[in-house]
Structure 1
């Protein structure tokens, strides 16, 4: 797939400069055709996927034609390739397009079919808490939002995607588009927040990190309802092992760790 990615990168980067981020009809069809060609001839074990690859090509012609701008066009191409959910196969966006996307500095972990907040930057320190559960995004229930907007836009296999997207991809999106998310905090209080996307290249706050209360501690155990949170920072001394031994029996009462 390396050849495929390089071809698309060169093709679209050139057209961005010439067309002010607009593609002609011929260029749209040509880019889609490059994807069809490379997958058809070079993707290993294509026959194992339940695809009529010619039909996939035909079905996406009206989608690329209808794309209003370069980001919509690339979204169509990416979803085609991401539908394989093969972690080593992806569409690499040109730098000009990457700069249009951003992230929200909130990290999630998928535990017992729920997304728990496990880290965030200082801008959210007085708004959400570690252990809060994400329940809605843009008025969608969290599972509906994941199935409609998150899973189709990543290339991870289904059995690992839910565990991985919380580390950054769940809230990824265009800088021009904000999000509204609703959380249920550990005290069963519902909190709704407007989330701002930060550029990957500038205007970025500090790296997502565990809040200060969780730093500089070799071993820490917190409990939120039936969920136990354990942080082990270092094994340079005996503190983590001896501390864990003291609480191991009590962990049996936790539904998740």
Structure 2
């Protein structure tokens, strides 16, 4: 009975406070849906991995459903769920700014709650200082609105998130599990670090408390440098979005020449321009050239597709033109980019010392390209958790109402064709943070990296 009353209250709260505008006509809603469906069919590099019958039947069903949506938020939620069917981290639909600005994730009036996935559990990592006794950091959210957290995320959160890998989907869904509009309420069952179970109802509204507890450190620079023990140098490369990182790295070369061991931290690096990463890597590896990712995109030749409709599959074995036509017809004809080697020449002295590259779930895109370039270097060891597992070249386009969408157009693999998109780059040494590490302020990846290096530079 309690759950029924709470759901009635929840529905009232959403209707009273969580309204967003309905700015799109039925025609515009169908056009936006169709535009995205069309661009995926024409450009999505992984279309061959999609269940086409399910994809198309979902599109047909959505034609009516999108016209029945009561506002822009509900409409774009449907489109985001449609997009998530593709299971690709470089294929997304973003809410238009007027909707995104109304969404709340961590603010609940008198409460501010930040949640992360640690050891497959929804762990509260930060709160506002005035509530750190009520919800101590390290608390686990066991239930949301009467459902187990796992079931709640599976039903209401994960289906709307585009991700190439299961581990990143779990991370993102946990972080977004309490995202909603102002006025939206959640009944939480929470287990404190001391084992005590409490229930709490929180409602999205503006919060005046800005400070957080604990005040976790955040990267303040593209690059961070520090010395550790035993002449081990630590360099965090936090993004490849800005070419300034290359000059920042080169400014530290005089210091780095003194290092007997090196830690490169890519855990916060979500990508950017792969060339910026390569321009740093060239200082750290021997030789003059290196191979990067092998790349492929779809190739459309309309007339061949028309011919392919008349080709029998068995006829393609001995006739190259028939095969080309048939592959066009079934949307599996590709163009392979030349995978020419990249120069690693530099007029600076190179730093060839035992090197640990620390990676994690947020190591993505161009940062993964960095790892592909470095693959096989004998003095390199990767350590941490599997990477983001998504890269490629997205095609961006606008949808009605100011929303932006993108579709991945390029498949990248190791030079030998080994896949990492959809899997992540698996480090040589798996080290992942535990709840105990979080509670005790321990960085297990960094500690293990230093330990491994100490053994290598004795």
TM-score clears 0.5: yes
| SS in structure 1 at match of 2:134 | coil
1:30 corresponding residue in structure 2: 31
| SS in structure 2 at match of 1:74 | helix
Tell me whether 1:192 sits opposite 2:199 in the alignment: yes
Q: Any unmatched runs of 5+ in structure 2?
A: 1-20, 107-111, 218-434, 452-458
Measured after TM superposition, the shift of residue 171 of structure 1 is: 1.2
2:79 corresponding residue in structure 1: 77
Contact between 1:116 and 1:134, CA under 8 Å: does it hold in 2? yes
Q: Give the structure-1-normalised TM-score.
A: 0.69
Q: Give the structure-2-normalised TM-score.
A: 0.40
Measured after TM superposition, the shift of residue 176 of structure 1 is: 2.9
- Distance (whole Å) between structure 2 residues aligned to residue 89 and residue 139 of structure 1: 33
1:230 corresponding residue in structure 2: 440
2:59 corresponding residue in structure 1: 57
Superposed CA RMSD in Å reads 2.7
- Distance (whole Å) between structure 2 residues aligned to residue 58 and residue 130 of structure 1: 46
Cα-to-partner distance string for 1:91-137 (whole Å, 9 max, x where unaligned): 12111111221112322333333222222223532311122111111
Structure number with the higher helix fraction is: 1
| SS in structure 2 at match of 1:115 | strand
- Distance (whole Å) between structure 1 residues aligned to residue 43 and residue 191 of structure 2: 47
Specify whether residues 191 and 51 from structure 1 end up closer, same or farther in structure 2 by C-alpha distance, changes over 3 A only: farther
- Distance (whole Å) between structure 2 residues aligned to residue 180 and residue 174 of structure 1: 15
Specify whether residues 206 and 83 from structure 1 end up closer, same or farther in structure 2 by C-alpha distance, changes over 3 A only: farther
1:211 corresponding residue in structure 2: 214
1:17 corresponding residue in structure 2: none
- Distance (whole Å) between structure 2 residues aligned to residue 232 and residue 134 of structure 1: 22
Contact between 2:183 and 2:205, CA under 8 Å: does it hold in 1? no
Contact between 1:85 and 1:158, CA under 8 Å: does it hold in 2? no
Cα-to-partner distance string for 1:190-246 (whole Å, 9 max, x where unaligned): 1112223356xxx56426x4426x88xxxxxxxxxx94433258xxxxxx97xx99x
Specify whether residues 124 and 150 from structure 1 end up closer, same or farther in structure 2 by C-alpha distance, changes over 3 A only: farther
Specify whether residues 120 and 31 from structure 1 end up closer, same or farther in structure 2 by C-alpha distance, changes over 3 A only: same
Higher CA-based Rg: 2
Contact between 1:198 and 1:204, CA under 8 Å: does it hold in 2? no
Residues 97-116 of structure 1 aligned to structure 2 (within 5 Å):
97-104=99-106, 105-116=112-123
Cα-to-partner distance string for 1:175-199 (whole Å, 9 max, x where unaligned): 2312121101122221112223356
1:221 corresponding residue in structure 2: none
Aligned residues: 202
- Distance (whole Å) between structure 1 residues aligned to residue 129 and residue 205 of structure 2: 14
- Distance (whole Å) between structure 2 residues aligned to residue 204 and residue 35 of structure 1: 39
Specify whether residues 155 and 204 from structure 1 end up closer, same or farther in structure 2 by C-alpha distance, changes over 3 A only: farther
